[in-house]
Amino acid sequence: LLSFTQIENKAIKIKEESINLDVFCQNMIDAYQLKYPNFDIECKIDGIDYFKTDPVLLGSIFQNLIDNAYKYSNPDRKLLKISIKKFKKSLMMKFADRGIGIPSRDLDNIFKNGTITVQSVEGEGSEFTIELPYEI
């Protein structure tokens, strides 16, 4: 969230590269499955191969959401499903876990900037959706 605010305020300069999403995601998954062998991570990419963005910032998004999915899941529910697709003029990424969830009274205060949304049921898990402008 801090990075999004810094980008909006032009404090961080984005270094765009064309990223192969399949390779990027598989590298992230491989790194986490080495770190947490009991963590089941799946990634489905639909209708898009490359995305122009800053790989460091995209990596930060993935790391934060993957870390939280692992941290806030019970030992027998370490599962994360990542889905990526093109939606209108955006790239939509969803991170759905089976973690402890977030109380409904706290959901409106999680994200104040950008197009990040969350749906959560306490005790059942959370799904974070991120939309970023899409450009080839």
- Quick: pLDDT tens for 16-58: 899 999 999 999 999 999 999 999 999 999 999 999 988 988 9
Q: What is this structure's pTM? A: 0.76
Is 80 within 8 Å of 97 (Cβ atoms)?
Answer: yes
DSSP output for 33-46? HHH-TT-EEEEEEE
Q: Is the pLDDT of residue 109 over 80?
A: no
CA atoms within 13 A on the CB side of 108: 1
pLDDT value, residue 9? 53
- For 126: left if phi > 0, alpha if psi spans -120 to 50, otherwise beta; the answer is beta
pLDDT higher than 90, residue 88: no
**Average pLDDT of the chain?**
84
Q: What is the dihedral of CA 86, 50, 30, 16, to 10 degrees?
A: -110
Count of residues making up the chain:
136
**DSSP H or E stretch at residue 25:** helix 21-35
